[in-house]
Amino acid sequence: MSLTEDLTTGSDKEQADRTSRNKLLYAAGGLVAFLVALALLSHVPGSTGQIAASMLRVAIQPQTAALAVAVIGLNIHFGYTGLLNMGQAGFMMLGAYGFSIAIWKGQPMIVGILAGFAAAFVFALLLGIPTLKLRGDYLAIVTISAAEILRYTGRLAKLENFTGAAQGIPGSQYRGPFADLSFLPQDTNWTFPFTKLTYPLTGTDDWWTRLVAWLVVALCSYFVFLLARSPWGRLLRGVREDEDAIRSLGKNVFAVKMQALIIGGLFGALGGIIFILPSSMQPDAMGRNLTFFAWTALLLGGAATVFGPVLGSILFFSVRIFLQGITDAVLPSGLMNTQQTEQFAWICIGVMLMLIVIFRPQGLVGDKRELRFNV
Amino acid sequence: MSDLATRDYADPAVRAQLVSEVDRAPGAAKPDPILVVDSVVRHFGGMTAVDVDHLEVQRGIITALIGPNGAGKTTFFNLVTGFDRPSQGAHWSFDGKTLDKTSASSVAQAGMVRTFQLTKSLNRMTVMDNMMLGATEQSGENLVKSLFKPLWHGQEREIEERAKELLDRFKLLAKKDDYAGSLSGGQRKLLEMARALMTRPKMIMLDEPMAGVNPALTQSLLGHIQSLRDEGTTVLFVEHDMHMVRHISDWVVVMAEGRVIAEGPADSVMSDQAVIDAYLGAHHDMDLGDDALLEEDAVKEMADEVAREEAEGKA
Amino acid sequence: MESRAVVWQAPVTKILAAFFLTILTLAAVAAVQPARASASASLCLPSANNSCITSTVRSDSGVIAGAEVRVTGPGGVDETLTTDEAGKFSLSVTETGEYTLVLVPESLDESLTVTNGSVTLNVPRMNRVRAPVFGVRTADYSATTSFSDQLINGAFSGLRLGLLLALASIGLSLIYGTTGLSNFAHAEQVTLGGMLGYLFVNQWGLGLLVGAPLVLIAAGFTGWFQDRVLWMPLRRRGLGLAQMMIVTIGLSLTLQYVYQFFIGASTVKVLVFNPTPQSLGPISYTYPDLIAMAVSVVVISLVGYALLRTRVGRATRAVSDNPALASASGIDVDRVIRLVWIVATTLAGLSGLLYSLVIQRGMRWDSGMQILLLLFAAVTLGGLGTAFGALIGALIIGMVVELTPVLGAPGDLKYASALLILILLLMVRPQGLLGRAERVG
Subunits that touch chain B (at least 3 Cβ pairs < 8 angstroms)? Answer: A, C
CB contact under 8 A, A156 and C47: no
Q: What is the nearest CA distance from A185 to chain C, expressed in angstroms?
A: 24
Question: Same domain for C289 and C178?
Answer: yes
Residue of A nearest to C256 (CA): A347
Q: Clarify whether residues C318 and C389 are in a common domain.
A: yes
Delimiting residues of CATH 3.40.50.300 domain(s) in chain B: 2-121+199-314
On whether both C96 and C169 belong to a single domain, the answer is no
For residue B51, pLDDT over 80 is answered with yes
Q: Which chains touch C (3 or more CB pairs under 8 A)?
A: A, B
Same domain? For C275 and C137 the reply is no
* The pLDDT of residue C343 is above 80: yes
d(CA B17, CA C70): 100
Tens-place pLDDT, residues B156-198: 999 999 999 999 988 899 998 888 988 888 889 889 999 999 9
- Quick check: C261 contacting A, CB < 8 Å? yes
Q: pLDDT of A122-172, one tens digit each?
A: 999 999 988 888 878 888 888 998 998 899 899 888 888 889 888 899 999
User: Which residues of A fall within a CB distance of 8 Å from B138?
Assistant: 231
The Cα of C437 is separated from the nearest Cα of chain A by a number of Å equal to 11
Do C100 and C153 fall within a single domain?
no
Which of C 30-69 lie inside 8 A of A, CB atoms? Answer: 45-48
Tell me which of C143, C163, C193 is where a domain ends.
C143
Q: Is residue A1 part of a domain?
A: no
Q: Which of A361-375, B3-17, C244-258 has the lowest mean pLDDT?
A: A361-375
- Same domain as C162, residue C125: no
Work out the pLDDT band at A294, boundaries 50, 70, 90: very high
pLDDT of residue B312: 56
Interchain CB distance below 8 Å, B44 and C441: no
Q: Taking 90 as the threshold, does the pLDDT of residue A300 lie above it?
A: yes
Domain assignment present for C437: no
Among C50, C58, C136, which Cα is nearest to C91's? C50
Residues 6 or more apart in contact with residue A3 via CB below 8 angstroms: A19
Cα–Cα distance for residue pair C157/C163, rounded to 1 Å: 10
Dump the DSSP string for A123-136. HHHHHHHHHTTS-H
Please count the structural domains in chain C: 2
One-letter amino acid for residue B6 of the chain: T
Query: Is the residue at A170 inside a domain?
Result: yes
Return d(Cα C173, Cα C391) in angstroms, integer.
9
Q: What is the pLDDT of residue C34?
A: 35
pLDDT for position C200 = 92
- Cα–Cα–Cα angle for C4, C5, C10, nearest 5°? 115
Residue C244's alpha-carbon distances to A254, C32, C231, in angstroms, are 25, 42, 8
Whether C278 and C258 map to the same domain: the answer is: yes
Identify the weakest region by mean pLDDT among A302-311, B304-313, C254-263: B304-313
Binary contact (A12, B199; C-beta < 8 A):
no
Tens of pLDDT, residues C379-396: 888 887 778 888 999 999
Contacts of C441 in chain B (CB under 8 A): 74-75, 77-78, 83-84, 116-117
Q: Give A85 to chain B, closest Cα distance, Å.
A: 20
Question: Is residue A13 scored above 60 in pLDDT?
Answer: no
Based on the fold, state whether residues C227 and C324 are members of the same structural domain. yes
Chain C positions touching A297 (Cβ under 8 A) are none
Q: How far is A82 from chain C, CA to nearest CA, in Å?
A: 9
Q: Per-residue pLDDT for B71 more than 80?
A: yes
Return the pLDDT at C18. Answer: 58
Residues of A with Cβ-Cβ distance to C384 under 8 angstroms: 137
Domain carrying residue A83: 32-359
Nearest-CB residue to C440 (from B45, B78, B117):
B78
Query: Considering the domain boundaries, does residue C44 fall inside one?
Result: no
What CATH number was assigned to the domain covering residues B2-121+199-314?
3.40.50.300
Q: What is the mean pLDDT of residues A349-370?
A: 86
Q: Do A233 and B146 touch (CB under 8 A)?
A: yes
Q: From CA C72, how far away is CA A358, in angstroms rounded?
A: 50
Asked if A142 is an interface residue toward chain C (Cβ–Cβ < 8 A), one would say yes
Are C221 and C330 part of one and the same domain?
A: yes
User: What's the distance, Cα to Cα, between the start and end of chain C in Å?
Assistant: 33
Tens digit of pLDDT for each residue in B96-151?
888 887 888 999 999 999 999 888 888 889 999 999 999 988 989 999 999 999 99
For residue range C31-54, list pLDDT tens digits in order.
333 333 333 335 677 777 788 888
Q: Does A306 map to a domain?
A: yes
Whether C340 has a pLDDT exceeding 70, the answer reads: yes
- Report the first-to-last Cα separation within chain B, whole angstroms: 50
Please tell me the predicted confidence (pLDDT) of residue C43. Answer: 63
Identify the domain containing residue C10 by its residue range: 4-30+146-428
Average pLDDT (C412-431) is 81
Chain segment A210-269, per-residue pLDDT in tens: 999 999 999 999 999 999 999 999 999 999 999 999 999 999 999 999 999 999 999 999
State the burial class of residue A361 (Cβ atoms within 10 Å of its Cβ: 0-12, 13-18, 19+). Answer: buried
Q: Alpha-carbon torsion C260, C157, C421, C396, what sign?
A: negative
Nearest-CA residue of chain A relative to C423? A142
User: Is residue C36 in some structural domain?
Assistant: no
- Check CB contact under 8 Å for B83 and C439: no
The helix or strand, by DSSP H or E, that contains position C120, with its residue range, turns out to be strand C118-123
Q: Taking Cα atoms as reference points, which of C409, C83, C355 lies closest to residue C193?
A: C355
* Whether A333 contacts chain C with CB within 8 A: no
Look at B83 and C440 and tell me if their CB atoms are within 8 Å: yes
Please answer yes or no on whether C257 and A166 come within 8 Å at the CB atom: no
pLDDT of res. C242: 84
One domain, residues C137 and C150: no
Q: Residue C35: its pLDDT value, please?
A: 36
Please give the helix or strand (H or E) that residue B114 lies within, else none: strand B112-114
C239 shares a domain with C135: no
Å between A311 CA and nearest CA of chain C: 19
Domain boundary among the residues C93, C112, C143 is at: C143
In this predicted structure, which of A183-187, A256-260, B278-282 has the lowest mean pLDDT?
A: B278-282
Out of A12, A233, A247, the one facing B104 most closely (by C-beta) is A247
Q: How many CB pairs under 8 A join A and B?
A: 115
Q: Residue A218 is part of a domain; what is its CATH number?
A: 1.10.3470
Dihedral sign for Cα A75, A76, A80, A82, please.
negative
Of the three residues C143, C173, C200, the one that is the final residue of a domain is C143
**Rg from Cα positions in chain A:** 21
Choose, out of C183, C249, C262, C263, the residue to mutate when testing the contact with A (most A CBs < 10 Å).
C249
Q: Which CATH number fits the domain that encloses residue C84?
A: 2.60.40.10
Q: What is the mean pLDDT of chain C?
A: 81
Q: Which chains touch A (3 or more CB pairs under 8 A)?
A: B, C
Predicted confidence band of residue C22 (pLDDT cuts 50, 70, 90): low
Residue B302 pLDDT > 80:
no
How much is the average pLDDT of A319-344?
A: 85
Specify the CATH number for the domain of residue C213: 1.10.3470
What pLDDT, on a 0 to 100 scale, did the predictor assign at position A268?
Answer: 97
What is residue B21's predicted lDDT score, i.e. its pLDDT? 79
Residues C288 and C247 in one domain: yes
In a domain, A19, yes or no: no
